[in-house]
Structure 1
Amino acid sequence: MWYQFYLRACTRNKKVNQKTGMIHGPNTVSIQEKPKGYWRNMFFKEVSGLNMNKWRKRLKRVDPYSGMPSYTEEVLRSLCVTWEIAVTDGRGRQSTFEQFHISFSSTAVFLFWGAVNWPPFNQLTSLELYGVMPVPLHCPAAYRPGWKSLMSKITLKGEHKELCFSDKLVKLLYIGQGVTLGFWQDGGALAFVIVNLHTSRLVERSLQASLCPRTSAEVSALFDDVDPEYGLHGYTAYIELHNTERVIMSARESQLFCRRDQISNGYLPLEVISEGKGCLNAHLVSDVRLPWRTEVLSGNIKDCCMMNLTVWDEAKQPFWCVTAPVVITKADQDVVSYDADGMNVTILYQDSEGKVEIRLRKPRVSNPTVHLIYDEDGMLDYVLPIRDSTQL
């Protein structure tokens, strides 16, 4: 049956399998000689490659500001790509959950799962993230198969101590690879799952990670035969803070460099924004929060958001890509600044590849706007202070 599906897909694309020579009518014995699942995998591989050259051509256009492909969202939506989470317990039983909410930014996609029937978290052993593309078959959507690509697998047994932040209802726990778990404060049961995926090779990872797994080879700096002691130079960094509703802050700086004598404890410091020169794009809004919601409840976690960091080298190749939740905390020492009014805050992030230190100025709440209300005779009736335009 799967061979017939594969034959039909190849015929529709006007392709001939020259390696096996089976397109022109193989006998039953030659078909059954293949290992179990061979023709099913070949069929899904063929279907997942439909219009591959077309979407790869669209992804070649890069946004000069963010350094990422410009049409990632359009390509994913045109291919009807979705994402699923599969959790496995100690007995090997697996539960699958479809995405509950999705939103895009210029450098990442924000995925949310807010189911109410999560298995007990203390019984779970692993969490798997799949990219799913439905197969164009003429059958009801509930029975339509989909091509799944395993993007990441995280072991849940063990200690995870990277608590991000919490409110009165939930607390967040970041477990790596862009996956954040939300737990109820009352009882500690799993409430929701947040996944933040960087758009670097996101289409390929969502469709073909199982077929062509990408090895995590170490990235080395380009050799400079003119001045080998100069170190890293010509790098560009783009930082974006966002939540599910809007971009909170964005900043981009090019021509970053690091001399060899500046290397300390294995870190290569790249100063993106210095206090002396500043950056016009680095404005932080006062209301920083991370919205969350399930099928029955919703809320906001204050002073918490998602950070997207992209660093690419002088050859315009991504050097380091980060998507993770971060917490905005008050700085230990307030730095006096006559150029801006507000409170100094810091954002810290660190993983096995590097660390990020951000110092920003969060504006204070502005003074209320005073509206004078007059009656019909022109006499002052009352004074109405308005702090927010929504109060109008």
Structure 2
Amino acid sequence: MERMPSEILLKIFSYLDAVTLLCAGCVNRRFYHLANDNFIWFRIYTTAFSPKRCNWKVNSAEKTAVSMKSLSVEDKEAGYWKKEFITKQRASVKAALAQVLQPVNPDTGLPVKTKEALSFSFPRISGLCWVIILKAKNGQEYVMEHTDLSVHDSSVTIMWYGKNWPQIAMLSALDLCGVTPVFMDRSKTPSKNGPYKLPPHTPLLDDHPEYGLHGYQLHVDMHSGGISYLCGTFRNLFTKKGSIENGYVKLVVIRFKNNTEHLPLIGKVGLSWRTDVFDGCIKSCSIMDVTLLDEYGKPFWCFSSPVCMRSSGPSDGPNFLGQTYCVDYVDLEGKVHVELVWIKETEEYFIVSLVLYLRTAKINQWFGTAY
């Protein structure tokens, strides 16, 4: 093919679709310049984005406009219509995804159709995926695409495993990137995306002086892989002003003394893992997703983290007979404390207490006032 005249190669390239043409341009310098041909890309552009007329007849004015536009193709620099096509294609993909993600779940403050949006661009179909870029000390890079994922109400769990990972000792850096497709087909030209950031928040004054926090809503999910052990929403949470302990405001969600609020964990709790060869389960561990919305439905505190149930001794209360466990999580914005009891007769855990501790510094920043 190297000996073929450019005219013949251009004729061959004119039969290629956009993705194949981009791949052909990566073969060598000559193919790159030929694959940038404006006439080929102008045809691809107009075919993809011109209004589709099934039964309409094109009038003479429209024919003249198309002819004039075709004549101007030569005046553009090489690759102009390729860039125009890619820009328009990316905009159309983003617009399609934005339309899917418009409805918001009132429980989580997140898009209702997150799972559908991921399926809309599932990696085996169009290329949306997460990759880990491992950088070796000698400058070599290893790009590892995710192997599996599971979607939950307020999080996506992504898994990587394989036999071809480089040795840890030779690595100097690790980058985690979200990759989105340019073309909605089986081939992909990825572009990196940064991490998701919550929208900016404007502090609001609290107009209910008798309460501290009021009208808050918690959505909590404990899961592992595709299995959910607990998924629930708690509304109208509040705390009286002055309920501050060591720089935290206490928000009680499930009360130990109120049996009607206690909830069971469904299934055998464990954090599942697998590789190409082995699989297993880490007992008493899971992923906890917490989304706390303020009185206006805005995300106040969100996290997704592995947690572990730790034994805290036998139950000393009259209502429960069994071993007690606790789950704790702490970050810069708050703490979560969960108490559970193992009911031996039914072989299940019951959550008998769930308390959030929110840092006063976080609350002051949120409202723009001193709490």
Do the two structures share a fold, i.e. TM-score over 0.5? yes
Cα separation, 2, equivalents of 1:353 and 1:71:
28
Match of 1:12 in 2: 48
Q: Is the 8 A contact 1:130 1:148 kept in 2?
A: no
With over 3 angstroms needed to count, the CA separation of the structure-2 counterparts of 1:291 and 1:63, relative to structure 1, is same
Q: Secondary structure at the match of 1:61?
A: coil
Q: Check the 8 A contact 1:235/1:313 in 2, yes or no.
A: yes
Structure 2 unpaired stretches of 5+: 1-34, 52-68, 123-127, 348-371
Match of 2:237 among 232, 256, 272: 256
Within 1, Cα distance between the matches of 2:301 and 2:227?
24
Q: Which residue of 1 aligns with 2:157?
A: 110
What is the match of residue 139 of structure 2? 92
Q: What is the Cα deviation at residue 133 of structure 1?
A: 3.1
Equivalent residue for 1:147, pick from 190, 199, 219: 190
Q: Does residue 49 in structure 1 map to residue 29 in structure 2?
A: no
Secondary structure (helix, strand or coil) at the match of 1:60 reads: coil
1:344 aligned to 301, 311, 324, which one? 324
Q: Structure 1 stretches of 5 or more lacking a match?
A: 16-21, 153-204, 206-213, 368-392
Query: Match for 1:309 among 286, 290, 295?
Result: 290
Match of 1:120 among 167, 178, 181: 167
Letter paired with 1:347: V
Distance 2:266 2:245 in 1: 34
Residue 129 (structure 1) shift: 2.0
AA matched with 1:346: C
Does the Cα contact within 8 Å between 1:286 and 1:363 map onto a contact in 2?
Answer: no
- The question of 1:321 aligning with 2:283 is answered no
What is the one-letter code of the residue matched to 1:56? A
Residue by residue over 1:234-274, the C-alpha shift from the partner in whole angstroms, topping out at 9 and shown as x without a partner, is: 11011110011411112321112234422344433222212
Cα 1:323–1:329 shift into 2, 3 Å: same
1:364: which partner in 2?
344
CA distance in 2: counterparts of 1:303 and 1:253, whole angstroms: 24
The amino acid across from 2:285 in the alignment is C
State the Cα RMSD in Å. 3.5
Match of 2:312 among 327, 331, 336: 331
Residue 83 of structure 1 and its aligned partner are, at CA, apart by 1.7
Matches of 2:260 and 2:103 in 1, distance apart?
27
Would the alpha carbon gap of residues 221 and 312 (structure 1) be closer, same or farther in structure 2, given more than 3 Å must change? farther
**Aligned position for 2:217:** 236
Any idea what SS the aligned residue of 2:288 has?
strand
Alpha-carbon deviation of 1:336? 1.3
Instruction: Provide, for residues 203-261 of structure 1, a one-character-per-residue CA deviation record: whole Å limited to 9, x for no partner.
Output: xx4xxxxxxxx4885x566322x334633221101111001141111232111223442
How many angstroms does 1:66 deviate by?
Answer: 4.4
Q: How far apart, CA to CA, are the structure 2 residues paired with 1:66 and 1:289?
A: 24
215 and 54 in structure 1: CA distance in 2 versus 1, 3 angstrom threshold: closer
Tell me which amino acid in the other structure corresponds to 2:265. L
Normalising by structure 2, we get a TM-score of 0.66
1:65-117 deviations in Å (ceiling 9; x for gaps): 44432211011111232222111123332111111112222222221111122
- State how far apart, in whole Å, the 2-side matches of 1:101 and 1:319 are: 30
After TM superposition, give the deviation of residue 307 of structure 1 in Å.
0.6
* Cα pair 2:228 2:266 within 8 Å, conserved: no
The normalised TM-score by structure 1 is 0.62
Alpha-carbon contact 2:314-2:323 (below 8 Å) kept = no
Instruction: Report if the CA contact (8 A) 1:305-1:325 is conserved.
Output: yes
In the other structure, the counterpart of 2:58 is: none
Q: In the aligned structure 2, how far is the partner of 1:355 from the partner of 1:26?
A: 64
Q: Percent identity?
A: 26
Contact in 2 for aligned 1:335/1:344 (Cα 8 Å): no
Structure 1 residues 27 and 362, CA gap change in structure 2 (3 angstroms):
farther
Kindly provide the amino acid, as one letter, of the partner of residue 72 in structure 1.
T
Match of 2:54 in 1: none
Q: Which has the larger radius of gyration?
A: 2
SS at match of 1:268: strand
| CA distance, structure 2, for counterparts of residue 48 and residue 27 of structure 1 | 25
Question: Is 2:181 aligned against 1:134?
Answer: yes
Structure 2 letter corresponding to 1:222:
L
Q: Cα distance, 1:25 vs. partner? A: 4.3
CA contact (8 A) 1:2 1:43 kept: no
SS at match of 2:250: coil
Alignment of 1:222 onto 2:204: yes
| Contact persistence 1:128–1:150 (CA under 8 A) | no
Q: How many Å apart are 1:282 and its aligned residue?
A: 2.3
Q: Aligned partners of 2:215, 2:177: CA distance in 1, in Å?
A: 36
Aligned residue type for 1:77: S
Distance 1:85 1:25, change over 3 A: same
1:126-155 alpha-carbon deviations (Å, 9 max, x no partner): 3222222333377xx5xx332333345xxx
